[in-house]
Structure 1
Amino acid sequence: MERLMSGDFDVKAKHSSEEALQKWRKLCGVVKNPKRRFRFTANLSKRYEAAAMRKTNQEKLRIAVLVSKAAFQFIQGVSPSDYNVPAEVKAAGFDICADELGSIVESHDVKKLNFHGGVTGVSQKLCTSVIDGLTTADSDLLNRRQEIYGINKFAESQPRSFWVFVWEALQDMTLMILGVCAFVSLIVGIATEGWLEGAHDGLGIVASILLVVFVTATSDYRQSLQFRDLDTEKKKIIIQVTRNGFRQKLSIYDLLPGDIVHLSIGDQVPADGLFVSGFSVLIDESSLTGESEPVMVNSESPFMLSGTKVQDGSCKMMVATVGMRTQWGKLMATLSEGGDDETPLQVKLNGVATIIGKIGLFFAVVTFTVLVVDQPTNAASLVSEMPVSAVKLLLQSIFNNTGGEVAVNKDGKREILGTPTETALLEFGLSLNGDFQEERQAVKLVKVEPFNSTKKRMGVVLELHEGGLRAHTKGASEIVLAACDKVINSNGDIVPLDEESINLLNGTIDQFASEALRTLCLAYMELEGGFSPENPMPVSAIEGPDFREKSLEELLQLVPKIQIFNEISSREMEEIDVFKGILDNYVFVVVIGGTVLSQIIIVEFLGTFANTTPLTFAQWFLSVLIGFLGMPIAAGLKKIPPARASSQVEFTILSSSSAQLTDKLMLPLCDAV
């Protein structure tokens, strides 16, 4: 079959003529061999269309080249025979100017090149030799050559300053929305709470925006500098040239018109030039013209353009024009004038980001509206659902058993003073339509039990106008709940606190605690038969439910960690000298130093923002001294040998006692701060 097709029908295995294939199709309607069916089913009409399109494109390209040549000659307005050497070029010792050299190479004008005597004639007018190259003996001639023809460097745009990157970072839609929110927050906060108190949230948002902007701008600016340095290093290309009759290495930035450059496969043409000698030279001009087919360069077509690459062969080239007068330099100048256009992908991504920003803004407005509108509704519904007696007792406990105060400032606006916890409780009481002054005047304070670290609660005893005494307490949920035996249900009735209710309340407390929320429990008791300040109140363990459920071994590892000033002592659990090698662990030193520095900043400088009061030198000294007392206690505890299980129990009890002792010494001072 193979012999039949190749011999009788002239159908080759590859690259058969279209006439042979058409003849084969006429004789054989269906080819039985699948391989032949696949190979000889080319669409001849498509081939004809492609060939016609190639011919049309070639004709258009030829016409465009001829038109450009005609236009160039028309613009110059003179014939090659009328060329006159400029006076400054002739005074410098040369017989051809840079513009004339550029026009020869750019237009590939062989006639004009022959008018100047070909490559050899141009070299003579440039005062160079195609064999020995330039001579560097006369430094004045080199300087004049550089002044007349320029240097082989491209004009680069000025690097963008840091503030340009800051401005670009500010154009982010999310940051714009946050900026509007910060402005609104500042106006609303200052109008409602005054300058110092009301500006915290707005200034916090502004600080966050500035932090994001400057971090982004700094990162982009550093990357731009790195890319610029990398681009500079990439452009430092070393080539081989002939000067003074010797072949030597030279940077492309030092090239001058008249230099003889040696090029081989893979080299980039450093400047526009003329072919001197070589073999089988193919130049890839796709970077300039977009044409994928390589261009043959020889003595008949000796023109070589900068930015192109040698695809095959090797040659010697005489440099004609350098720098911005080359084709590559003109292309870079044109691209720089056009600016940085966004790619289609960047346009689409920016569109998606804009849509997401608008959707996020819409939902933010809806959420804000729902929260603002729904907050009074929730407060009103809570008051309507709770029994009147329970609401009255709750308001009485909140407004009397507190260390905060609800005052009216000089502008007639209500202002809540106190710790964040007390402020939150007072705001809750006010949301229940409570009146702070009215509740205070309705009763008489008999006894106030302030908060302390041992009882973990605070309480007051009130004398009611209708007679009788009532005690209100507030504190840690586990402690107060353990002291209660009754609860007010949803109907306002007082019922016993059974096991199921206790488990439900403990589950609620654990759920809030797992969400990093602080829980408080409010309770009251009617005092009958007189009042004694020493009335007992059941107190459970102060460590919390998770602490009580741990085993003895877990407690032995956990107790040293809960001591306030025990970071250094617990660094080496079995060593007496805990300072040995402390500077070797830089992480530990940084953490301790950062903790101390942050505490000093919070106490001394943040003031109202952190709800702190600056300490005197004596108070700082006392604080450090009290904290230091834990270290000899820890050293003494380490002396106790853990030989038996009973010793471990005794060690645990002593460690816990030392922790409680430290709390007793420190917490009153912390409360004072």
Structure 2
Amino acid sequence: MNDDQTVGLTSQQVSALHKSHGWNELPQTAGPSALRILLRQFTNVLVVILVIAAAIAFVAGERIDTIAIGVVIFLNGALGFVQEWRAENALHALRNMLSPQATVLRNGRQLQIPARDLVPGDIILVATGDRVPADAALIEQTALSADESALTGESVPVSKDSDDATILMGTNIVEGRGMARVTDIGTQTQFGEIALLTGSVIPRQTHMQQQLGQLARQLGAAALMIGAGVMLLGLLYGRPATEMFMTAISLAVAMVPEGLPAVVTITIALGAAALVRQHALTRRLQAIEALGAASVICTDKTGTLTENKMTATRIWTPQEQYQITGTGYDPAGYIAAGQAKRRASNDPLLAQLLAVCAGCNNATLQHDRTGWTMIGSPTEGALITLAYKGWAPLPDPENILDERPFNSDRKRMSVLRQTADGPQVFTKGAPEKLRDLCSEILGPDGPVPLTDAGRAEIDAAYTALAENGHRVIALATAPAPDGILREEGLVFLGLVGIIDPPRPEIPDAVAQAHSAGARIIMITGDSPVTAKAIAQSVGLQPDWVITHDALAAMSDADLADGLAQDMLIARAQPADKMRIVSLLQKQGQIVAMTGDGVNDAPALEQADIGIAMGIRGTDVAKDAADLVLLDDNFATIIAAMREGRRQFDNLRKFVRYLLSSNAGEVVAILCNILIGGPLIFLATQILWMNLITDGLTAVALGLEKPEPGQMKDPPRKINAPVLGWSGFAMIAVFGVYTGLCSLWIFWQLLPVDETLARTAAFTAMVAFEKFSVFAFRSLRSPCWKIGLLSNPFLLLALVVTLGAQVAAVYWPPLQSLLHTTALGWAEWQMIGLFCLPLILLPELIKTIRITGDSNGT
């Protein structure tokens, strides 16, 4: 080596290079600032309308109204901020992508320094388990392999031989050791260049946000027009300007559901908190609801559908075929031939094969309180675990006499060990390479010549294992009496089939996704054969299996036609994900996309719902995502989809509920104006109804459990409205009934006393709104079918809000604030009489409809 390879850079050189190249760090990707998170809580159109309403009330001198609306605005902003800020902090705790330390040669000494201090030209040392701190060119290496899946999406470790003499920032060394010279740092690395592209995609609003925004704009415009029209009409009829101004404000306040933004935020925040307990971290609150509408889920294979733990499941020898139980690197399983368990101690032929599994291996298993972990190559980890399961004796690490590491040309590894029978060669590798190095094959009574028929038998067994998705490793051995490692004249022992097994809960999750009408497209860096085998094992039956090369040759029009089928994309590149997401969205699909690598970030941002892996995902992927899976499990996506559907269903319920309440207030006010009566409700009373009594009830309505069959409904269409004609009809019916009943009570008592009449109408409207809530608990089933006590939060909310209304009528401080007076028994009887139809009629109609549906009418 040259002097600089043993000495490294000097302190003076490092200082000069820092001035010219800067530091080895990326632009901060710590997520939005606290101020940005806070400000975006106030971009909702309904919140903007609340701000305008508060300003009007302030100008009108209505301090109580101003304070009340201001409190709602503050609470809504605070709730949304706290949830999203907590999510960002939790995500920050997950961030551990870049190695914080680097081993470097400087001034002739080996040092541990912060990775950000590296400069081009530094000599770094890497070994198994290290994370590469910068892009670098290898100077020397011994059996070095790196996991580059964070950059390429390919889960198979890359051997760093003469054909690939570079190591890249953010990748992991899984085997071997090496010395390298840093070539690029920070944003000049491949990792850094991709990270800079992450913010290039314009953030998208969810469809619910768009629909609620449109609804809010329509309500706001209607409130302004009707309020202005009523004020102008009153002035033309000679009514006092002050009275008509307050009437217009009351009407505008009644038309806008002031509590809706807070109810939406609280409901989604509570759902997000529930999802954390199911291992999903919500970075953007509305993403949960959007996932409930997903029509296509594009998912990785490795670690999402599978365990991400290579596991030996099959052994083939000329005499026997073995099955292996257990998953991952926990040696709790066993080896069986038929129904009989086998060990090295009672199966001599198996013992020789297991000796190679353990002896030609650099991986190690470790056990602590949390369980078993593996250090080294995943394939070697599977083989050493297999040796443990067969109770094979582990070789002494000191008895290695010679070793030839694996590389991509040789596709094999050999070790010469000193054994009790003398020096022995242990070799493992690709079957097509190893077979030709063998002259014998192990028979029942020892080695026998390997004939053409024997080679054909090996090839057939290899093909059968590979077609079932296994990665196949061949094992061989030979004595070396002269102590020289020769890879010729070997004795073929058998084949081991290794696979990354599917998670046990995935088939059920896939079935639920299909039942919910969501298509699943697997996009993986693995081979088509392996990918298809895993897909079929979890219940995916792709109509079309295509690789990156074929995909790249297709036009967008042809690919769009293909995306209408169930597709599996193998050997995929991260850029393929971005293209697929865009084409699916052009077809009107709502797309959820999973990803973990840096190259996945643009696709995660482009997707309607970007889903990053919390365990193996890069920081850049997590920053681009809306949802982070803390357990990297596809089944968690389905749990989040179920929660999203529950949220949207409940959103429709409480939007209908709140708007029906507002409609009743508007009907009463408008009809009263046309009749020429005094104000039926004061602005403070309307705010009390909209914020206090209705708001708390709506939040409880948002906590309704999922309705039966919810995950069997198809995804809602991209333009599906929050209300629809049935919603408007429901709002109109309830609004007309409650408004006219309140108005009748008001005019019945007006000759007695105006304050009494207004208090009775005000209390009647609150009571009507409380008793009508049962009709909104389910949009399909009557209350008796979903259970009267199934939502205890709603019962508690009714007790609290009705109690608050009683206090508003009888407690002097609230009487003064709301301008009410005590009601007598006669007034309460009158109110109760009109409440009964609100409970009975909607449930009767639902029951008749269900009976008719079951009879086919």
TM-score, normalising length from structure 1?
0.34
CA radius of gyration, larger in: 1
Asked which structure has the greater RCO (Cα within 8 Å, sep 6+), the reply is: 2
TM-score by length of 2: 0.28
Higher strand share: 2
